Every structure is written in C-alpha cells, then in structure tokens.
Structure 1
Amino acid sequence: MGKYKRYCKTLTLTDNPSLIEEYKKVHAKGAAWKEITEGMKEVGILDMEIYLFGSQLFMIMDTIPDFDHDQAMSELAHKPRQAEWEAFVSRFQETDASVSAKRKWQLMDRIYELEQTENYITENGQLKDTNKVDIKSEIV
C-alpha cells in the first residue's frame, strides 16, 4: 500500500446497555448500509475501525495520502443516504439527529508514537508508511 494518512476520532454513546448492544448490531459484519461504506471509499477512506469501551467509541480511519479531512467530510455529508444514516445512528449517540458525522466524531490529538519522526497537525492526519512495519519471523 505504501503511504497513507491516519485519523483517530472519538464519540460518546448514550450510556444504555441495550442501546449499545443495538449499536453494535448495526455495525456488525454486513450490517452497515452499502451506500455508507461506498461513500466512504469514494472520498478516500481506505479502512476504518471502531472500538468500544463502555459508552466511548474510538475510530481509526486510514485514508489516501493526499486526503483533505474537511473537504472529504463535507463531500461525504452529501453522499446518498448519508444524512439518513446519521439520523438513524443518532439515537445511540450523545448528539443531535441533525448533526453531521464531521461534528459528531471529534478528532483526537496524538500524544505518543513508538518511533515518532514528525509532528502532525491533527486535522492533517498522520502520514504513515506501511514499510515501517517490520514483522520478525521469530516472534511467536
């Protein structure tokens, strides 16, 4: 893959165990709406992972190297069914149904990296290089 940009974001869910379980179901394999995942790919999102701890979500978003976060999020907001998806998932979130994903998901500042070589402005993402990963065959 070469180089890519990484963005990390956070969002708080409503602290309700049954709503959190339902939120997990709408994000299970194959459950997210096709138009939503297609729209993300069209704006340059290569991969996305969401993690849950209690009612706190943590997202890792890997993008194309020249990804412009603000421009892409604005473009994404106008993709087919995106506003409908945001309204649908808002019932699980500590946010208003009319708020876009850009305003719901808050960018996080990186404060540490194992072998940091540069400082990055949060909105610009963190340029990563897949060649940096050196997996040792002797690790079990």
Structure 2
Amino acid sequence: MPTMTRHLLFLDIDPSSASVAAYRDWHRAGGPPAAINRSIRASGIESLEIWHVGDRLAMIMETGPDFSAAAKAAADAADPDVQAWEALMERFQRRLPFAPDGEKWVAAERVYSLDEQP
C-alpha cells in the first residue's frame, strides 16, 4: 500500500469581508479553473482542502509517494494558467510575517500525535 504524507500549511487572508467573500467564491466547487485542479492532481497531490478562520487559511494536503514539492514548484512556474491563478490569488492573500522570502504557504510542524501516545 502506498504511503501518504499529510502536509499542513498556513497563510493569511486579507480580512476585509469583500476579500474573504471573493476568495471563498473562487474556491467553491467549480470555482478554480480546470487547469488548476489538473495541475494539483498531476503533481501527486491526492487530497487538498483549504480551511478558513478569521484572517487565517489552513491547507491540508495529502500526497502520494511520488510527490515532489520542488517538481511541483518548477511545473507551476512554467505553467501560464497556474501563474495567472497565483496572480489572482495574490490579491487576497497575505504572507505570514515570519514566512521565508519567496514562500507563501508556510508548513507547520507536527508536535503531537495521539497515535504515538501510550
């Protein structure tokens, strides 16, 4: 059975009600362009959800064994549809104050797992 890896990433959103409404609308079922969903699936991402609370977004992503973040980034940089989507999303998103340069979504580190407890 292939091993899945779960990733949890965070990003802030412009808290204005218009920005939040627009961002949520773009992410409704059928909202993202088909090319974006194809790009995500083709990279080895098996599951992806974005959650929202206040001015924070959380992305939960599960990837298969062939997923490479570097390969995904390179493919995205070369794809004009993905670049157009990213430019559109930049209007709503705000990098976390501690995000490294050039990094938008920041990965969280797991510090607890019930499965590992006695």
Give the TM-score range, shorter chain. Answer: 0.7 to 0.9
Give the aligned length.
Answer: 111
Give, in whole Å, the separation in 2 of the partners of 1:41 and 1:63: 10
- The equivalent of 1:121 in structure 2 is none
What CA distance in whole angstroms lies between the structure 1 residues aligned with 2:4 and 2:25?
Answer: 29
- For the 8 Å contact 2:7–2:107, the answer to whether it is kept is yes
Instruction: Give the Cα–Cα distance (whole angstroms) in 1 for the partners of residues 86 and 113 of structure 2.
Output: 32
User: Counterpart amino acid of 1:24?
Assistant: R
Give percent identity, aligned residues only: 30
Query: Aligned AA for 1:30?
Result: G
For residue 2 of structure 1, report the CA deviation from its aligned partner.
4.7
* C-alpha distance in 2 between matches for 1:31 and 1:52: 16
CA RMSD of aligned residues (A): 1.9
**Runs of 4+ more than 6 Å apart:** none
Gaps of 5+ in 2: 96-101
Question: 2:53 aligns to what?
Answer: 53
Q: Deviations over 1:90-140 (max 9, x none)?
A: 111115xxxxxx7211111111111139xxxxxxxxxxxxxxxxxxxxxxx
Larger radius of gyration: 1
TM-score (norm 2): 0.84
TM-score (norm 1): 0.72
